[in-house]
Amino acid sequence: MLRLLLPLLALSLPLPAEAQEAFPFKCPAPGATMTTTANNTLTFTRQEGLTCHFKRANNTEGAWMAGVVSPTSNLGTRNKGDIEKLWPARVGAKSEFMQIEAWGYQVIVRERKMLTVPAGTFDVLVIDVTTEGIRQNSHRSYGRFYYALDFGYPVKYEPVLERGNWTNTPVAYEATAITKP
C-alpha cells in the first residue's frame, strides 16, 4: 500500500523554496565597476526600469536590459515586453516568442546556484536565451547569463553555437574584478 501512495505524495509536495521565490531585478549601484576577461571595464551610471546604463573604459556609453539583451537590438526593441515579463525572476520562468517569423526565441531562468569567477563567489540566476531559426534557417544558439543577485548584472556569459553560424561571434566573459561605491 505504501508503494502505491509514494508516487501520489511526490506529486503533491510543494516546489522547492527557490522555485517559489521571486527575485527582483536590479542594476549595479551607480559608480560600481566590473572588469572582465573580455578586456572590458564597465562603470555603471544609472538604472531605468530594467535597463542598466554604463560607460566602457573607452568612455563610450552602453546599456543592457533585463540582464540578457541590448535594449537597442532588434530583440530588445521589438520584444521588450516578452523579456521584461520574466522579472521578478523565478527559477523555471520562461518566455517564448517569435520575431519576423524568421527567428524563435526562448528565455528561461534555469536555476539558482553559487558561482565562482575570478572576481569572487556569487549567488546567481542562470538565464538562457535561445535563438532558433525558423523554416529553412537552421541556426540554433544560446547565450547563458549568470546574473549575480547581489551585484545586479551577469558576472559570466557563455555563448554556445549548436548549429549554423554567427554573423557577429559573441565574446564569452567572466568578471575578474568588481568594485562597489
Q: pLDDT by residue (tens digit) across 59-104?
A: 999 999 988 888 887 777 778 888 888 899 999 999 887 776 777 8
Q: Is 4 among the domain residues?
A: no
Structural domain of residue 59, as residue ranges? 17-179
What pLDDT was estimated at residue 114? 98
The CATH number covering residue 123 comes to: 2.40.360
Q: Poorest-confidence range of 52-66, 101-115, 116-130?
A: 101-115
Domain count, the chain: 1
- Give the model's pLDDT for residue 111: 96
pTM, rounded to two decimals: 0.85
Residue 149 lies in a domain: yes
Q: Calculate Rg over the CA atoms of the chain.
A: 18
What is the model's pLDDT at position 21? 92
- 52 within a domain of the structure (yes/no): yes
Would you say residue 67 lies in a domain?
yes
* For range 104-119, the mean pLDDT: 94
Q: Is residue 12 part of a domain?
A: no
